[in-house]
Copies of this chain bind each other. A is one copy, B any other.
Amino acid sequence: MQQSPVPPETPIYRRIADGLREAILSGELRDGDRLPGENAIMAQYGVARATARQALSVLINEGLAVPKRGSGVYVRQFRPIRRHGSRRLAQGHWSQGQAIWDADTRGRPYTVDEVQIDRETADDDVARVLGSAEVWVRRRRYSVDGRPVQLSVSHFPADLVEGTAIVREDTGPGGAYARLGDLGHSPAHFTEELRARMPHPHETVLLDLPAGTPVIAIMRTAYTADGTPVEVNEMVLDAASYVLQYDFDA
């Protein structure tokens, strides 16, 4: 047995995927609903197992569906967190005892784990921006509703923060930025460079990402009023969990 004599214009697996996608986008299948399984597709379309799998893999890699072992394939949910770029770093927030993250979650509970604080020799990129090869590095993972959503790696010039609360697990009220202020180095200007890409394997593990989920990689540099860089923060966000907002004037 072989495939039909005249190969159809579009492959079978793609037409099956198109039908399922249409059902999802039209709302016929809703968030969390179960898609037809491999066996159902095999029966309905008269195709082999691998073909049914291939159709489902299209939707999975498009981020529209999520497979659950031993259970089924389900329509993916999208309930993003709104992250304000410009506004949320307004001095009013962190100078009044609020950590930056508070402005992001809008009251939704969040947790921090996988915290690591180390003194390291910085990568070339970071060293060039900070003008300092020796840095203190704060790594952590943020979770909202029990699900990991962001990885963050902050770099501070070692000679600037040595012996301060910034190198301790609890940075105190207002977080690291307030401590920089205590030192007379309040961040006054920020640059964020942002790109989107598919996650690296270790990011897939730490953020518990299903296939088809891009990440947003942000590299933020904080400068004092006189233009001295005081922090480089590399963030990796689960793209399915975020909407980023930037406000600015002409």
Name A residues whose Cβ lies closer than 8 Å to a Cβ of B.
Answer: 18, 21, 50, 61-64, 80, 85-86, 89-91, 186-201, 211-212, 214-216, 239-240, 242-250
Contacts and interface: CB of A to CB of B under 8 A. Distances in A.
A183 B126 CA distance: 46
A78 to B, nearest CB: 8
B214 A198 contact: yes
Given A85-B248, A189-B250, A195-B239, 20 more contacts: A61-B211, A62-B199, A62-B200, A64-B198, A85-B246, A89-B248, A89-B250, A186-B250, A187-B250, A188-B250, A192-B245, A193-B243, A194-B243, A194-B246, A196-B215, A196-B216, A214-B214, A214-B239, A246-B248, A248-B248
Q: How many chain copies? A: 2
Contact of A198 (B62, B90, B194, B244): B62
Contact of A191 (B50, B239, B240, B246): B246
B50 A192 contact: no
B244 A193 contact: yes
